[in-house]
Amino acid sequence: MSTFTIFLVLIIFVAFLLVVVIMVQNPKGGGLSSSFGGGGTQQLGGVKKTTDFLDKSTWTLAIIMIALILLSSISILGGTGTNESDVIDTEGIETTIPAPPGGDTTTDNTEGDTPVE
């Protein structure tokens, strides 16, 4: 297993956890704590603190996801930091320099033909 594959599995796992944590929260502030009846008093061993836990876990999972994404991009490059492509091989390609615009369009003609315009 390559390091990128490991990072990919971890990113998918953290994304799943992040979706679960976000779906448990209620956008109006009720969320999991209101389902236990923890409106104003502290019941069931501190359910009032559930929204704080969900908020902190959301931020923690988001930071972990960003770190994993950045680390996976480093593992794609192989840690070298080069941006050279291995797909394009430039060793076998002949390069020609085009004539400047408005310059001399005649070519060195060794066979006696007329100049190319």
Q: Are 31 and 48 in contact (CB under 8 A)?
A: no
Residue 108 located in a structural domain: no
Instruction: Give the global pTM.
Output: 0.52
Q: Are 31 and 53 in contact (CB under 8 A)?
A: no
Mean pLDDT, the chain, whole residue set: 74
Residue 71 located in a structural domain: yes
- What is the number of structural domains in the chain? 1
Residue 72 located in a structural domain: yes
Residue 56 located in a structural domain: yes
Residue 114 located in a structural domain: no
* Domain of residue 62, residue span: 52-77
Residue 46 located in a structural domain: no
pLDDT band at residue 61, thresholds of 50, 70 and 90?
Answer: very high
